[in-house]
Amino acid sequence: MLLFEAFLALLQIILMYFITESPRWLFQHNKKQKAIVALRKFFKETDPKGRAEVESEIYRIEHLETFEGSIPMRQALYELFNIYDRGLLIGILLFIGQQLSGYYVLLSYGPTIMKDAGFGGSSERDNIINTIPLVLVSCITSISTIFLSDK
């Protein structure tokens, strides 16, 4: 089982080389040609709509956005803590709420919790099999979130 995960990690390392660099970052560092090539990978070239999208995206980055996002880190941190502190607080609270909603804990200790609740099997293996319904439920709701999230 662990070997399988090691294989997945290896696959990830190999696939990393195929990830394009951020077009915005390339524009900021004056590598326009590379940025356009990277940008093209995000849209379907054969589709006229896709080509138009690339054009408008290039225009947007070039004329509207390159001057942003390139401020020194100290300045950014100063702004973050002094001006945009409310957004930061909300962001932190959102993630603390995420952790304390108990999801990760329930999933990680699923076998133990199920056993304590009286659904334990005779062996360790049975306990793990008992948690499959839990994982299935969360899998199904995650997929249905795609259709719900923009409501």
Stretch touching another protein by CB under 8 A, among 36-44, 50-58, 76-84, 121-129 = 76-84
Residue 69 contacts by C-beta under 8 Å, 6 or more apart in sequence?
Answer: 24, 28
Of positions 105, 128, 129, 132, contacts another protein by CB under 8 A: 105
Measured over the CA atoms of residue 63, residue 69, residue 75 and residue 78, the dihedral's sign is: positive
Position of tokens 């957004």?
87
Closest separation in Å from C-beta 136 to another protein: 10
Identified binder of another protein from the candidate list 19, 118, 122, 123, rule CB under 8 A: 118
Return d(Cα 89, Cα 74) in angstroms, integer. 19
Chosen residue from 11, 52, 88, 129 binding another protein by CB under 8 A: 88
Per CB under 8 A, does 101 bind another protein?
Answer: yes
Amino acid at 86: R
- Contact pick of 9, 77, 128, 132 for another protein (by CB under 8 A): 77
Alpha-carbon distance 66 to 26, whole Å? 10
Q: 69: left (phi > 0), else alpha (psi -120 to 50), else beta?
A: left
Q: Cβ of residue 55: shortest distance to another protein, in angstroms?
A: 15
Positions touching another protein (CB under 8 A) are 60, 63-65, 67-69, 71, 73, 75-77, 79-80, 82-84, 86-88, 90-109, 112-114, 116-119, 133-134, 137-138, 141-142, 144-145, 148-149
